[in-house]
Each structure stands twice: as structure tokens, then as C-alpha cells.
Amino acid sequence: MKPSEANTLSTPSAPSTKLSPKGRQTQRLDKVLTHLGYGSRSDIKKKVKQGAITVNGIRTKDSGMQVHPHDDEIVIDGEQINYREFIYLMLHKPPGVVSATEDNRDQTVLDLLKREHLVFEPFPVGRLDKDTEGLLILTNDGQLSHSLLSPKRHVPKTYEATVSGDVTEQDIEKFAKGVVLDDGYETLPGELTILRKEHQDEEVISYISLIIHEGKFHQVKRMFQAVGKKVIYLKRVQMGQLTLDPLLPIGEYRELTEDELQRLGK
């Protein structure tokens, strides 16, 4: 063996995944790095030829070698990778942006993400109306999405709204029983709180908070229509036990903290 090869690791080609000695799944090196956004498989192959990738301190000669992304120390261009399978983002969705992965006419919430997060192929958990702002979770964890959206779970969602009209104690009582929407559907009970009121040009403007336990199409707006009022501003501030970070600017996002993930049951 040549001296230059003494510190080089080479592994024969193998299937894309197999079980490690610990019983957990290993993956191809190029697959791991591609998943994390370090380039295409051909890019990773070039990096290997340049000697820019080490596994457990040893330069590798095979971009297809099997590694355990959680246990092995993988370094590319001097940067140690932080492998993760799932990503969890909190977005302060702005109005005018649609809660979808793609749209032919409007900007989507994915258009607000950086490439380093887009490589995980996240999707919005549920949706907010185009003109509604506030808390939106984006993830590639289908299990979490299902647990938050399952009709059987009745995960509470808290909204703050500005309503044209005088919201009264009678409205609170009606919401507490459930209201009948324009299509005949009777909603589950909602918890309506009047925060304050003000008069503008002989019109009463009500500022309210509302907790609902389902997510019908335009539900908050339609609930107020059912009692003769109109929502003119709507913001979601909480979903389950997760609250929108008050310091997160509109249109910005960040990854969830460990504490926040625990609140979501992760």
C-alpha cells in the first residue's frame, strides 16, 4: 500500500441500505450527503476524488460506501455533518402566500424557505387561507402531520381576529354550542373571547380570540357570517400546545426547539 493511501478508506459497492452492527439502518454516503443538500451524487463523487470527505477521520475513496449517518463522524470540506431525517419548521405565514407545495399563480410557503431546508421536501401541516397570517408548521414527518390533522384528535387551534360588527355575549353562547354554517354543517363548540371593542365611523369593530377544534374550509370566517358579522383580519397564534413565537417576524421561519417538539408529542 502506498503511503498516500494509508489514511484512506475504501468500501466495496453495496446495496443502498443495510443494518449496522447496532441493528439500525445504514445508508450510502452519497445518499446521506445529497439528502442534506451537499450536492448531487456526481458532486459528492467529485468531492471524494478531491479527498474532501472523511468518515471517522479517514479519507474515503468510495462515494457509495455504507455509513451510519447518526453514529459515524462524516466531514465534508472540513464541516462535520449533522444528520437528521426529519425537519420541523415554524413559519409566521404572511397574507398573500398560499399554504401549498406548488401553485401556478401565487407564491407558496415553500418559496419562503432556504435551499438547506427545501432539500428535506417539507410540506405545510394543514393550511391557512391565502389572506390569513400566523402560525404554520412545515415538516416532512407524515406521522406528526397526521396526528395534528386527524379529525379524531380535535387538536385545538387558536385564532385572533378583527371583526366588523358588535360581537356580543350572545355570540359567545352561540359559539359555545356550535353554529350552523352556510352549507348546513354544525360546528363543534368554539371558545370565543372578546378582547376589546372600538367605534370607527359609526361601526363597531370587535377584537376577539377564538379556539376551534376542527378545520373546515374558511371556518372562522363562516362562523362569524353565521351570526351576522364579518372577519376583516385573521391570524392563527396557536396549534395544539405550540404557540407562534411573538419575536418571529412575519414572513420568517425557524426550526422548532426540543421543548416545542415535546409539546407536539415528538
3-state secondary structure string across 242-258: EECCCCCCCCCEEECCH
pLDDT at 154 over 70: yes
Alpha carbon of 160 to those of 28, 148, 168, 197, 263: distances in Å? 47, 20, 16, 13, 21
pLDDT grade, residue 24 (50/70/90)?
low
pTM over 0.85: no
Range with the lowest mean pLDDT among 9-18, 114-123, 141-150, 225-234? 9-18
With a CB cutoff of 8 Å and minimum separation 6, the contacts of 51 are: 59
For residue 62, the SS3 value is coil
- Return the pLDDT at 63: 94
Do 27 and 37 form a contact (C-beta atoms < 8 A)?
A: no
Residues forming the active site: 129
- Return the pLDDT at 256: 97
Separation between Cα atoms, residue 190 and residue 182, nearest integer Å: 17
pLDDT grade, residue 4 (50/70/90)?
very low
For residue 237, the SS3 value is strand
Task: Report the alpha-carbon angle 245-113-93, nearest 5.
Answer: 45
Separation between Cα atoms, residue 89 and residue 124, nearest integer Å: 9
* For residues 146-154, average pLDDT: 90
pLDDT grade, residue 258 (50/70/90)?
very high
**Higher per-residue confidence, 158 vs 36:** 158
**Higher per-residue confidence, 27 vs 245:** 245
pLDDT at 163 over 80: yes
